[in-house]
Amino acid sequence: MSAFLKICSGPEKGRQFSLDENRPMHIGRGKSCEIMLTDPISSRFHAVVYFDESGWQLRDTSSRNGTMVNGQKTDHARLIHTNTVTIGSTELELIEEDSGPGGSESEETNLTETYSVEDFKTEKSWLAEAEDPISTVAATGHLIDLYSLSLSLLRCRDSDGVIDTLLELLRDRTEADIVGLTFDSGDNQFKPRRVLPAGSEGSVIIEKSLVRRIVSDGEAIWIGDRTCGQKNRSRSKGIDFEVDRIDDNWADIIYAPLVCDGSNLGVLHLYRRTPKFTQAHFELVVAASRLLAVGLSQAFERDSLKAERKRIADRNADSDEMIGSSPIMVKLKERIGRVAAASGSVLIRGESGSGKELVARAVHRASRRAKRPMLTVNCAAIPHELIESQLFGHRKGSFTGADKDHIGWFQQAHSGTLFLDEIGELTLEGQAKLLRILEGHPFLPVGATEEVLVDVRVIAATNRDLAEFVREKRFREDLFYRLSVFELFVPPLRDRGDDIDSLVSHFLDHFRRQHGRPSLALTEEARHRLLQYAWPGNVRQLRNVIDSAVVMADDPAIEASDLGLRDAGLSRLDTLRIDEWEKRLIRKAIERTSGSIPEAAKLLGISRATAYRKLAEYEIER
């Protein structure tokens, strides 16, 4: 299904603009708009059309003269086939049509040769049929087994799963009596990690005379052709040699080291009581051991990263869950779900410490890019002269101190999400490059001669007034409109009502466990003090206050004096921001008039229309 906007009237009558489901299309007189109009009634950035899970959507971007859909003025509307959008004298019609003769229904596949699955049968499958996509195709030998093993190793998310997958394959294919894996315990004593069948751990040993060859030299060894004599014919890398008899119980033994990046992770063991291993079995075990080494190395690295992530999260009391069920947070969570399903840029506004990064992570996890990386960059923490280099990369020698190439954050986040915190600190030059990326153009790293094209969803955050920055020429107007395709406001902690109590309980439980004080309580006076405090530093300040109190308080409970809220006696009107005063005074007026907006408007000395506009602007619940 393809879609385009057809201009039916106005200066551009007859033109058609194809729509892209993967990125928003801006309408306006601005030169960077994908659908550029010359209609004088149109604003520079008049509206934006984008696609989400419910279909095509249109949103007016605070235009001067408004936007109409099917004759009705609207700020936001869903568009379907033949809907008309009117901007001044320009009328645009949405056309949706099937992919046509080239579509999937009309395509024909020409086959020059066919094979039936009956031509390829396995005697038995070492995977469940639902999990093994080629369980009926293995007559071509062990190449198919190794292919299936590779797929299984890619699916396994932990080291134990990787090991079990391989041991089951080898036992099935070689018909070995015992298959095991041993790891070096640190003193050259190899101890069993996994053995099949269970209970056979005592049989899995390495003869001392072979340890150096297997472990130090990384050789795979097959000991077979056992006779009544004292010597046995063995094979290593295609060379026959003799070894002393190891154990009369075993006629065939294969040892294969697990070597990855020069490190020995362990040794695979296979044993048979009757001589039945073949050269094909030996080659299968060697190849499988190499795959297992890579799989284990990645699993160990993944486990290490998970443990480090958990350690950092525990230390900082971080949580992927957005704690709170106040009406304002419920509304925010609903908006996050809708924004995540779309593909445009997101601007997150909120005071410092209110949880903007947590909101950005929630958007990323709920988006179609959830399986791809999300990188976080604090623009305020990077020196202005290095911001471009860090974001877009640089080449060796491009400036003093550039002693090697650097891949920028945008390239590192390719196909994923890049979270730009404190976006207002970005230089004007950096803003120009960012705008080109958001418009789908390639960019040029510092000192480079070849442009780079990336696919990145940008989520930006700020605690500053970007509109004021635009008026002061400190922030590009076109970039501002590009970033604010979707805008999320994170409420300050003081406006979240009962959420403060939930957060106090969450942080108290966490830091009691972390600091080993599980029986420490919180007095009612201290809890009341926390609930009444204005929290200028928001959630971050609350977390630090609880952390400090748990460490410093004497048993058996945290007293109000342990909280360190030196300015706790200040009024909630403790800011000079006019918008903050307006929000609080409006709430107070509504409270005094029991929810009557006309009466509240009289108390405030403003008209009813102004009161309703302020309610919508500040998202104040009535």
Minimal CA–CA distance to 595: which of 584, 582, 586, 604? 586
Q: What is the pLDDT of residues 451-469, one digit of tens each?
A: 888 899 999 999 988 888 9
Q: Tell me the average pLDDT across 484-490.
A: 90
Token look-up 């699993």 returns 299
Determine the Cα–Cα distance for residues 461 and 356; give it in Å rounded to an integer: 7
Count Cβ atoms within 10 A of the Cβ of residue 355 and give its class: 0-12 exposed, 13-18 middle, 19 or more buried. Answer: buried
Residue 418 above 90 pLDDT? yes
Confidence of residue 122 (pLDDT cuts 50, 70, 90): very low
Angle subtended by helix axes 578-592 and 597-604, to nearest 10: 130
Confidence of residue 86 (pLDDT cuts 50, 70, 90): very high
Q: Worst-scoring range by mean pLDDT, 177-181, 214-218, 288-292, 449-453?
A: 214-218
What is the set of domains in the chain, with CATH numbers? 2-97 (2.60.200.20), 124-227+248-302 (3.30.450.40), 320-489 (3.40.50.300), 493-558 (1.10.8.60), 578-618 (1.10.10)
Locate 215 and state its tokens. 């472990």
Locate 530 and state its tokens. 């926390």
Q: What angle do CA 14, 17, 20 make, to 5 degrees?
A: 165
Determine the Cα–Cα distance for residues 323 and 152; give it in Å rounded to an integer: 37
Confidence of residue 185 (pLDDT cuts 50, 70, 90): low
Determine the Cα–Cα distance for residues 163 and 566; give it in Å rounded to an integer: 57
> Residues of 500-526 as b/e, b for ≥16 C-beta within 10 angstroms?
bebbbebbbebbbeeeebeebebeeeb
Residue 341 above 50 pLDDT? yes
In DSSP terms, 271 is beta-bridged to: 178, 253
* pLDDT at res. 54: 85
Q: What angle do CA 28, 30, 35 make, to 5 degrees?
A: 45
Q: Are strands 521-522 and 557-558 parallel, antiparallel or unpaired?
A: parallel
Determine the Cα–Cα distance for residues 355 and 359; give it in Å rounded to an integer: 6
Minimal CA–CA distance to 256: which of 194, 180, 192? 180
Determine the Cα–Cα distance for residues 142 and 139; give it in Å rounded to an integer: 8
417 close to 369: Cβ distance less than 8 angstroms: yes
Residue 136 above 60 pLDDT? no
Phi, psi angle pair for 7, to nearest 5°: -85, 115
Determine the Cα–Cα distance for residues 95 and 78; give it in Å rounded to an integer: 14
Confidence of residue 106 (pLDDT cuts 50, 70, 90): very low
User: What mean pLDDT, rounded, does the chain reach?
Assistant: 80
Rg of the chain, C-alpha, whole Å: 33
Residue 348 above 90 pLDDT? yes
Q: 563: Cβ–Cβ under 8 A, 6 or more apart, which residues?
A: 526, 529, 530, 545, 549
**Type of residue numbered 426:** L
In DSSP terms, 236 is beta-bridged to: 221, 239
Q: Tell me the average pLDDT across 126-144.
A: 47
Confidence of residue 103 (pLDDT cuts 50, 70, 90): very low
pTM for the whole thing? 0.59
Higher pLDDT, 477 or 127: 477
Determine the Cα–Cα distance for residues 471 and 565; give it in Å rounded to an integer: 37
Angle subtended by helix axes 356-365 and 327-341, to nearest 10: 40
Positive or negative: CA dihedral 504, 510, 514, 520: positive
Q: 609: Cβ–Cβ under 8 A, 6 or more apart, which residues?
A: none
Q: What is the pLDDT of residues 329-338, one digit of tens each?
A: 999 999 999 9
491 DSSP assignment: P
Q: What is the pLDDT of residues 521-564, one digit of tens each?
A: 999 999 999 998 889 889 999 999 999 999 988 889 999 888 88
For the chain, helix, strand, coil in percent to 5 are 40, 20, 40
Determine the Cα–Cα distance for residues 87 and 488; give it in Å rounded to an integer: 26
* pLDDT at res. 234: 47
Q: Is 276 left (phi over 0), alpha (psi -120 to 50) or beta?
A: alpha
Determine the Cα–Cα distance for residues 271 and 515; give it in Å rounded to an integer: 51
264 close to 218: Cβ distance less than 8 angstroms: yes
Determine the Cα–Cα distance for residues 261 and 296; give it in Å rounded to an integer: 12
Q: What is the pLDDT of residues 240-271, one digit of tens each?
A: 444 444 455 788 888 888 887 777 778 888 88
Determine the Cα–Cα distance for residues 403 and 385; give it in Å rounded to an integer: 16
Locate 68 and state its tokens. 């109409």
Minimal CA–CA distance to 67: which of 85, 89, 45? 85
